[in-house]
């Protein structure tokens, strides 16, 4: 081996060690602050959120799937949480209300992805609400991979001794405080690799008082809580040289009239927001309108998890960091033609268009996709002849260099 080869080998070893150590030090925390529309978060002073987001880390976002389309999802809490957790809308994850009657665990949550692909990573939930762990994440369920979280701190809404219920939901505020204190402590001491913090008080005050000082005070309390969480993250970053990616978002907006309700498809109910300390944000975050379903594809990328093709092709969101090829696919059937549109995020990209006429994935099976054609991504539209594939239902995947997106079309 000559000097040059030894040098190359040395560089290769150093860089692979660098990649591994970077990876081992990467931690992700995501927070849902319940039921705060974008106009409210923008008009109030939120110094801690501003500090975390820096100059470019805040964007408006949307919830509720495709309004009037096949993926339209109620702007209801558990529906929104599960859209975040699975990176899919309700037509797939099948949570349509807070009763969480029958989640479809074939659409994995981020916790299951981590458990299956990176079992060495540690996971944590800090939450007012027990169902977040037991039903949505579906801990320890046989039909959901039977995995456990490393840390959990939740269920206090059932503890009426320490948190006696009162008409003004002060007990929910106290639980949120308890949850944030414990999350900060565990982050400082143990630094789980993936953490979900869920806070409820803002939604309770919204329901009770609507657009009012009481609701705004709850948002300011949440901001203060995020400051304490951020202190814990800063402590780990400085002391242990860890790389923390923080996401803070909401699960739905509120009604136009008085801000008391939610669940429908008005602009304000669909108006969400997200913020992050991550600096490597792509055009979809900076110039587009991200959806709540984009956070999980981003975290998968952060953890170097590449789901198998069948799973990746079901994700309704795309990563908000790194390069991305395309977003926002739409398809309609007109006679024997399928008309497709999308947004291209690259100047030179070719996309492959795949179609299946089954949805076996929803039942744990696989779908046979047929490659229909390849086109220049920058065209942002295509017309596909489907006369050889008569069907009432089409599942369409557009696959670019960096990511794939999917959409459904029903024959009307
Ligand atoms: Zn909610």
> Could you say which DSSP state residue 66 is in?
S
The pLDDT of residue 11 is: 46
Distance 279 CA to ligand 1 centre (A): 28
Distance 366 CA to ligand 1 centre (A): 33
User: How many Å lie between the centroid of ligand 1 and the Cα of residue 20?
Assistant: 38
Task: Quote the ligand 1 centre to 215 CA distance (angstroms).
Answer: 14
CA 334 to ligand 1 center in whole angstroms: 38
pLDDT score of 23: 62
Cα of 203 to ligand 1 centre, how many Å?
A: 6
Q: How far is the CA of 388 from the centre of ligand 1 (A)?
A: 45
Cα dist from 114 to 37, 98, 117, 397, whole Å: 30, 25, 5, 24
Q: Along the 412 residues of the chain, how does pLDDT read in single tens digits?
A: 444 455 454 444 444 444 444 466 999 999 999 999 999 999 999 999 999 999 999 999 999 999 999 999 999 999 999 999 999 999 999 999 999 999 999 999 999 999 999 999 999 999 999 999 999 999 999 999 999 999 999 999 999 999 999 999 999 999 999 999 999 999 999 999 999 999 999 999 999 999 999 999 999 999 999 999 999 999 999 999 999 999 999 999 999 999 999 999 999 999 999 999 999 999 999 999 999 999 999 999 999 999 999 999 999 999 999 999 999 999 999 999 999 999 999 988 999 999 999 999 999 999 999 999 999 999 999 999 999 999 999 999 999 999 999 999 998 7
Compute, in angstroms, the gap from residue 3 CA to the centroid of ligand 1: 62
Cα(274) to centroid of ligand 1, in Å? 15
Centroid of ligand 1 to alpha carbon of 170 (angstroms): 17
Minimal CA–CA distance to 350: which of 374, 373, 323?
374
Residue 215, exposed/middle/buried by CB under 10 A (0-12, 13-18, 19+)?
buried
Q: How far is the CA of 252 from the centre of ligand 1 (A)?
A: 6
pLDDT at 1: 44
> pLDDT at position 412, please?
74
> 97 C-alpha vs ligand 1 centroid, how far in Å?
10
Burial environment of residue 44 by CB neighbours within 10 A (0 to 12, 13 to 18, 19 or more): middle
Predicted confidence at residue 347, as pLDDT, reads 85
Ligand 1 centre to CA of 34 (Å) is 5
Please give the distance, rounded to the nearest whole angstrom, from the Cα atom of residue 76 to the centre of ligand 1. Answer: 6
Cα dihedral angle (169, 173, 175, 178), rounded to 10 degrees? -160
Query: Where does 25-169 have alpha helices with state H?
Result: 38-43, 47-53, 77-86, 90-93, 110-117, 131
């Amino acid at each position: 081996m000559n000097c040059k080869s030894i040098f190359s080998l040395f560089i290769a070893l150093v860089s692979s060690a660098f990649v591994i150590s970077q990876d081992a030090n990467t931690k992700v925390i995501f927070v849902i602050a319940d039921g705060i529309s974008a106009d409210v978060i923008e008009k109030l002073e939120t110094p801690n959120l501003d500090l975390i987001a820096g100059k470019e880390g805040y964007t408006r976002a949307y919830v509720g799937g495709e309004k009037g389309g096949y993926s339209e999802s109620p702007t209801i809490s558990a529906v929104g949480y599960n859209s975040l957790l699975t990176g899919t809308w309700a037509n797939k994850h099948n949570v349509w209300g807070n009763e969480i009657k029958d989640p479809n665990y074939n659409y994995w949550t981020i916790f299951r992805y981590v458990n299956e692909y990176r079992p060495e990573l540690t996971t944590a939930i800090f939450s007012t609400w027990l169902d977040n762990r037991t039903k949505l994440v579906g801990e320890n369920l046989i039909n959901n991979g039977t995995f456990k979280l490393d840390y959990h701190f939740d269920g206090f809404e059932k503890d009426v001794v320490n948190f006696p219920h009162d008409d003004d939901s002060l007990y929910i505020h106290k639980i949120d405080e308890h949850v944030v204190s414990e999350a900060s402590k565990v982050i400082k001491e143990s630094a789980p690799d993936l953490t979900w913090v869920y806070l409820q008080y803002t939604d309770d005050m919204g329901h009770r008082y609507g657009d009012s000082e009481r609701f705004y005070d709850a948002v300011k309390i949440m901001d203060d809580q995020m400051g304490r969480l951020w202190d814990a993250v800063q402590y780990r970053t400085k002391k242990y040289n860890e790389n923390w990616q923080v996401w803070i978002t909401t699960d739905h907006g509120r009604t136009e009239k008085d801000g008391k309700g939610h669940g429908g498809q008005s602009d304000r109910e669909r108006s969400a927001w997200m913020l992050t300390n991550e600096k490597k944000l792509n055009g979809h975050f900076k110039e587009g309108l991200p959806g709540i379903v984009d956070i999980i594809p981003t975290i998968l990328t952060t953890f170097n998890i590449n789901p198998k093709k069948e799973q990746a092709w079901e994700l309704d969101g795309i990563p908000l960091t790194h390069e991305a090829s395309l977003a926002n696919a739409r398809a309609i059937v007109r006679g024997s033609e399928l008309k497709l549109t999308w947004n291209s995020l690259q100047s030179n990209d070719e996309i492959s268009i795949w179609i299946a006429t089954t949805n076996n994935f929803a039942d744990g099976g696989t779908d046979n996709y047929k490659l229909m054609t390849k086109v220049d991504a920058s065209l942002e539209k295509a017309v596909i002849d489907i006369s050889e594939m008569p069907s009432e239902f089409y599942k369409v995947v557009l696959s670019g260099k960096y990511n794939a997106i999917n959409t459904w079309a029903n024959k009307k």
